[in-house]
Amino acid sequence: MPLSTPVLAAGPAPQTPPHTGGLLLLIDGTPGLLTIAALGILLLLFLIIKIRLQPFVALLAVSIAVGLAAGLSVTELFGTVQKSDAVSLIESGMGGTLGHIAIIIGLGTMLGAVLEVSGGAEVLAGRLIRLFGERRAPLAMGLTGLIFGIPVFFDVGIFVLAPLVYAAAKRSGKSIVLYAMPLLAGLSMTHAFLPPHPGPVAAAALLHVDLGWIILMGVVCGLPAVLAAWVWSAWIGRRIFVPVPQDMAEAAEESRQALVAEQRAAGVAPQEKPVPLGTVLAIIGTPLVLILLATFSSIVFDPSTGRSVVEFLGHPFVALTLALGLAYWLLGLRRGWSRQSLETVSTASLKPVGNILLVVGAGGIFGAVLKGSGVAQALSDTFHDVGLPVIVLAYLISLVLRVAQGSATVAIVTTAGIVWPLVEHGGHSQAFVALVIMAISAGSIFASHVNDGGFWMVAKYFGISERDTLKTWTVLESVLSVAGFVMAAVVSLFV
């Protein structure tokens, strides 16, 4: 097994039939298990949409309810105090998933924070605008979002890059939509399709796929999708005029000044000389290249010391640690940062990550319970009888969950748990399963609307009315989703 392969610390329990000793066994056989699965998903949507329960709590509650209803015993779900060495489904689902992705997300988040605070985004956007010219500034914004979106979260990317959009729109006198939509397309594509973002990393861990394949298929499916979104952006940006929101521009400047003050207080000295663009690109590209090399070294090379070294350096943990070390040195210490300032920036960046990790971990619990109770196998048999390809089912399930409850992360981890048995025993290649993950990711961004926090973030930051946000951002996400899925489906015919 290549070192870049996700290894679950304690995988879900082996497939077992429903247990008659459960507390709430409702109906025997496959029909009963399918009923439990349907009711569980409806309950999840009800808790998140109507009750407004936090997704982590909702997923955990539904996992327990589904497990008990399907016939799992309390001991199987929670373990016992007497047998401390026995691993319960909840423990194995949570720990097995987070054991892999927590490290990747943590390292990736800190890497993005150092790039953000050092001014890498401004350098990237400024150089691209000079390269393409003011006339093609929307394309420069799109490329900025695409590149800078790899190491930073979607909301952070908007916060950092929105002032650049304001400036470009103000200089040209054109609609802010013309500049914001390409940027958002780049940020959204990387967030949905590429590591180290939580969705694709979590799905890779749940479905046991090398991150190298996720990166490769993310690029193959994501680039055509973002190109389609840029074409849409150019068309809609000339038909809907939205002026630069002066209040948000002023607030952004105040936030920028406050950030500079915080950086000075933390020992981060402002630099007159901008960060070299090559340095920014090298730091972002280093982990991607190393992970890809490790993934495919096992295919190209025979076992050897050289291959072992490549696989070691390309393990996601090692590759991201090396990239973070480069960022600390090249963007921090060499530019006057103190060691304390690096620690402050890194620690502050991890504060928003807790909620994401808990939701992803709860998704792992849900998948483990579905499998351990026999519900997943019943779903697999039923889906197989339907006759639709697994990649289509994965997309449709993810799409429905996304539109219904709004959270892309919940849609991804829930769908991954449902389709797990469809790919586990299907004899599929790593490349094919990676494409299934791309379909899940594509479905998770379809039709962002009023139940999605990203919808309101776009409307707020760029001063777009709710109606125009539906016409621009919601359609943009749908274009990305459909184009990404079409690419995944087409490529799956050849792998």
Mean pLDDT, consecutive 10-residue segments, the chain of 495 residues?
38 43 53 90 93 93 93 85 66 88 94 88 88 91 95 90 90 94 97 94 93 97 97 96 83 64 60 80 95 89 89 95 96 87 88 90 92 85 83 95 93 92 84 97 96 93 94 97 98 94
Provide the angle, in degrees to the nearest 10, between the axes of the packed helices 29-49 and 55-69. Answer: 160
Q: What distance in Å separates the CA atoms of residue 170 and residue 161, rounded to the nearest whole number?
A: 15
Please give the pLDDT value at position 254. Answer: 67
Please give the pLDDT value at position 28. Answer: 56
Please give the pLDDT value at position 18. Answer: 45
Q: How far is CA 239 from CA 166, 235, 471, 477, in A?
A: 18, 7, 11, 18
Q: What distance in Å separates the CA atoms of residue 342 and residue 160, rounded to the nearest whole number?
A: 19
Please give the pLDDT value at position 267. Answer: 58
Where do runs of H (alpha helix) occur along 266-374? 277-300, 305-313, 316-327, 339-349, 353-373
What pTM was estimated for this model as a whole?
0.87
Q: What distance in Å separates the CA atoms of residue 199 and residue 437, rounded to the nearest whole number?
A: 9
